[in-house]
Amino acid sequence: MSGHAACPRLTIAQDLTHLVPVLADWILDQAKQAIAARGQFVWALPGGNTPKALFAYLAEPAVQARWPWPQIHLVIGDERDVHPTHPDSNFGMIYRELLARLSPPPGRVVRFWTECPPAVARAHYEAELAGLPRDASGYPTLDLALLGLGPEGHFASLFPQAPALSDTGWTSYTWVPQLGSHRYTLTLPVLCAAREVAFLAAGEEKRSAVQQAMADSPEDPTTPIAQLRACRLRRRPDEAWSHWFLDQNADSGLSSAASKV
């Protein structure tokens, strides 16, 4: 096995419009492989603004018709502590852009019941996750965790130096001082246990975060990316620890090592 096998795999497109179909095709390939092997595809979705373009693309009639939606189970990877109808709700965005337009619908959608108290929201979410296969440590195993990347280096709702980074449960309900709000999120061990991890980042405001993500020391205990990378490399030392889908604006000098589309 090559000594470079564990390096992240990079795909860089001219812009988000060109990147989205490439990412969608890659995810569809992951779905087909998982369904052939295990009968289902469990995909954790990101929130935020950048993934909107992906969800809108997947909802296009000609695109969604190619996807085996009844065998795809969607997990909302993190959520703001707002009602599902609130403009800031990740589930609300995903529902408007994708779920409301799919026919047939996905096999299952796992979300935090943010209309309920946090203890109820987490209990229901974790009960849904309990139906998934587990890894050797007992964590539910996602087939794909697709993550965004914030300008300050957060993914899901795991922020630098946040107490949630050390949470060893399945979910965390965490206060984010940078935003002055509470968030729900899958924890680092669950994301680490996913069969595949991919990042989607676009826009100049993400360039610094991407550069830092590729440069961070794996020993840095305060950086979410560094912790995820170290965990993934311990689990799968001979495989790429992640896949990165970037547009040229988010590219931080990685073009020579990337597949370009």
Domains and CATH numbers, the chain: 40-198+209-238 (3.40.50.1360)
Counting runs of H as helices and runs of E as strands, what totals does the chain give? 8, 11
Show the tokens assigned to 138: 């007992």
Percent share of the chain, pLDDT over 70: 91
Q: How far apart are CA 249 and CA 234, in angstroms?
A: 31
The reported pTM is 0.93
Percent share of the chain, pLDDT over 90: 75
Query: Is residue 186 classed as helix, strand or coil in its secondary structure?
Result: strand
| Chain centre distance of CA 75 | 9
Residues 75-84, mean pLDDT to the nearest whole number: 97
Q: Give the number of other Cβ atoms within 10 Å of residue 104's Cβ.
A: 10
Show the tokens assigned to 173: 């309900």
Total residue count of the chain as it appears in this document: 261
Backbone angles phi, psi at 62, to 5 degrees: -70, -30
Show the tokens assigned to 53: 């373009």
> Is the pLDDT at 170 greater than 90, yes or no?
yes
> Is the pLDDT at 2 greater than 60, yes or no?
no
pLDDT at position 236: 85
- DSSP-derived secondary structure for 223-259: -HHHHHHHHHHHH-TTS-S-EEEEETTT--S-GGGSE
- Give tens-digit pLDDT for 46-56: 998 999 999 99
Q: Which amino acid, one-letter code, is at 69?
A: W
Per-residue burial over 173-209, b if 16 or more Cβ lie within 10 Å, else e, is: bbebeeeeebbbbbbbbbbbbbbbbbbbbbeeebbeb
> Is the pLDDT at 142 greater than 50, yes or no?
yes
Judge residue 161's burial from the number of C-beta atoms within 10 Å of its C-beta, 0-12 exposed, 13-18 middle, 19 or more buried: exposed
Q: How far apart are CA 210 and CA 186, in angstroms?
A: 21
Residues 82-106, mean pLDDT to the nearest whole number: 97
List the beta bridge partners of residue 174: 183
Backbone angles phi, psi at 133, to 5 degrees: -60, 155
Q: How far apart are CA 122 and CA 124, in angstroms?
A: 5
pLDDT at position 256: 47
